[in-house]
Structure 1
């Protein structure tokens, strides 16, 4: 018998814990190209733009995977889809560790990104179905698995002696993935009851009517906004290790700054999730995007070791909650049965923004010999995101107070 009380239940929180563990393991695929960038550049004697391409192809695969794999989750369920993707990504890691050239590595990074996508948008969409009152914090916790992955894995690989060999690191990640993710996926086989789904969809329909936008219009606007904010977000995240090498601080210091940035992002996501439960996704996203823009300005004068540590932490604390807010907005306004595809589309657009920004920043560096103009480029794109969020907020208030339906 259907049981709507499963929403926000003890089982929901257990499912959340399992989902976060899976996200921590499988999301390393989008961070490892950043950490190994200097080592790959040295081994293959490539320029900075060329060694930015593995990350870009990873993010393109990750973006497409969020949409395609999200649709697969809607159709086949999260447990089966997760098992297939985890095996695929583990095999691809092993093959990538054997890459004879940079271009083979680039080719394989696309497939690592595609299969790793199961650990982001699709997992967020699935978990969001099991919460209503605490959906914001639940989504934030799952999304934090992405940042925790980027924080934990580089330090763990360094601690066990594999940090100096990017090939060793890829092999280790592949082995750990195939040993841990499929068993955890078996714990997510339970389906959401129909009555619980109807409760959530009733609230979503009421919010859509109050907003003054159709779901398609809102989704397209969120997609464009996602590109803007994530082109800006990618500059520090993708190039912080290379920036530290340029300043003479070394790749290890850069990896530490990336970890600090991502840990700050975890805190930001938790705070943003709490705000979203109280105020809704759109106001929360606007706050995060504005703070991110301010943090990007702070990078312009920073050049010393201490200042870069401080600004990296500020940046992480500023921007971490932005991307999860998109998923919360989609779930607030769109049907449960379309969650995988709808969340996957918006996540795809944010990731395309990360891919574009990571590559463009490398090109700007090669043209100017500095990251200053790359930071300015990010600030401009961030302004586009802020403008769209202000427009949505203004139109929503004109069409009837956006909070006429509680965002819980």
Structure 2
């Protein structure tokens, strides 16, 4: 049997394939954004009702990160990817056949659940193939979600304009099946028992130094993930509305959102490189502290130029936070449970985004401005910083060294 070292040429080849899969598989959560105006017009719904399919997509996406992560642990990434691709295609077909916003929302729940295979589960899988360069590998795969959001809406816009939203979903069903399944078969190779045992030894040493059980640490990281993402959601979800309130218009807000996402991609790459030197806890702590600083900068920023600058700073600060959770899981928890553990924490971060988006809107409705909403985000961000500081002071995480045969 051929042995392959982690951080090897095959590891990098697998990383490229995994990033490609992530870019395709994540498309399901972005397609609904593209078709939302067309759905609203066809079904004659309100704006809030037309947003329900997206909400269901994100609920499914959160659940899928956990349950499909468990599937990757048990059945491997290939079978899990094939199942997810078939399920996405099924959801898209059901959406095409739907003639009400309720049925479309149910279909989007399925699409969101299966699309989650392209986020937490793939991040967990690629983490097994790297030791010295695990940080950058995880960061690049996590960027597949942002890349998918940048690429697919642009590509699908022409199909929507020419043939309608159902044609968009027909294209996505074909692309998912034709793209994901062959790539899944190319990822059949599995990490050896020796590699798992080496990773297990390193994580056990870190876990012992923290004095926490894997379950306790998982819940603690989930709470931290909710905290940082409640804070993160304030600018990401409400920046367009904030710009409209300030009289700059929705186009300016959309440009600021794009600037955040672009900065987020860069931040993920830089944070990955940093994590390979400092480890996941320190990297997350740095990113969370910078995000908190950026939220403070939003408070005095009221001019057009200052908002563009702060939005870029915010994007450059927050992009590397979520991938760092996956690295912490790998540093402290059993390697054979990586899919479920990473999936749980990713689920918590998505729940934090959903909670934060709603909570900021509620605060705005009660106060009449976003000032208190930014302050609320800062407090939630402080919770995340406190947990990371406590974990860092309580333990001395050790990054695994050297190559391991796989």
Please classify the TM superposition score into its range, dividing by the shorter chain length.
Answer: 0.7 to 0.9
Inter-partner Cα distance in structure 2 for 1:364 and 1:38: 27
| CA gap 1:372/1:12 in 2 versus in 1, 3 angstroms | same
Matches within 5 A, 1:213-292: 213-243=212-242, 254-292=253-291
Counterpart position of 1:197: 196
Mapped contact 2:331–2:399 kept (Cα < 8 A): no
Matches within 5 A, 1:121-132: 121-132=120-131
Report what 1:179 is aligned to. Answer: 178
CA drift at 1:16: 0.4
- Taking structure 1 as the reference length, the TM-score comes to 0.88
The verdict on how the C-alpha distance between 1:277 and 1:230 changes in structure 2, with shifts beyond 3 A counting, is same
Instruction: Provide the C-alpha distance between the structure 2 equivalents of 1:275 and 1:324, rounded to a whole number of angstroms.
Output: 12
**Hey, what's the Cα distance between the residues in 2 that align with 1:307 and 1:157?**
33
Conserved 8 A contact 2:159-2:167 = no
**DSSP-derived class of the 1:131 partner:** coil
Q: Which residues of 2 match residues 6-405 of structure 1 at below 5 A?
A: 6-34=5-33, 44-48=44-48, 50=49, 52-97=51-96, 99-158=98-157, 162=161, 169-243=168-242, 254-302=253-301, 305-368=304-367, 370-396=369-395, 402-403=396-397, 405=398
Task: Tell me the CA shift for residue 372 of structure 1.
Answer: 3.9
Query: What is the alpha-carbon distance in structure 1 between the residues aligned to residue 326 and residue 346 of structure 2?
Result: 8
How far does residue 390 in structure 1 lie from its aligned partner after superposition? 1.5
The structure-2 alpha-carbon separation of the partners of 1:55 and 1:242, relative to structure 1 and needing over 3 Å to count, comes to farther
Shift of 1:331: 0.6
Deviation at 1:155, TM superposition (A): 2.9
Question: Which structure 2 residue ranges, 5 or more long, are not aligned?
Answer: 402-406
- Residue 186 of structure 2 aligns to a residue whose secondary structure is helix
Residue by residue over 1:294-325, the C-alpha shift from the partner in whole angstroms, topping out at 9 and shown as x without a partner, is 22233344455544433332221110011100
Structure 1 CA distance, aligned partners of 2:304 and 2:32?
Answer: 23
Counterpart secondary structure, 2:330? helix
Q: Report the TM-score, using the length of structure 2 for normalisation.
A: 0.88
Q: Tell me the CA shift for residue 168 of structure 1.
A: 5.2
1:265 Cα deviation from its structure 2 partner: 0.9
Bigger shift: residues 334-343 or 97-106: 97-106
User: For the residues of structure 1 that align with 2:154 and 2:196, how far apart are their CA atoms?
Assistant: 41
Q: Which moved more, 1:15-24 or 1:235-244?
A: 235-244
Unaligned runs of 5+ in 1: 397-401
The CA distance in 2 between the partners of 1:180 and 1:110, in whole Å, is 22
Q: What CA distance in whole angstroms lies between the structure 2 residues aligned with 1:389 and 1:52?
A: 35
With 202-211 and 153-162 compared, the bigger mean Cα shift is at: 153-162
The CA distance in 2 between the partners of 1:90 and 1:252, in whole Å, is: 33
Contact 2:285 2:385 in 1 (8 A): yes
Q: Could you tell me whether the CA contact under 8 Å between 1:19 and 1:123 is conserved in 2?
A: yes
Relative to structure 1, is the Cα distance of residues 328 and 66 closer, same or farther in structure 2, using a 3 angstrom cutoff?
same
Change (3 A) 1:41 1:94: same
CA distance in 1, matches of 2:163, 2:254: 12
Q: Is the 8 A contact 1:28 1:150 kept in 2?
A: yes
C-alpha contact 1:158 1:164 (8 A) present in aligned 2: no
In the superposition, relative to structure 1, how do residues 309 and 97 fare at CA in structure 2: closer, same or farther (>3 Å)? farther
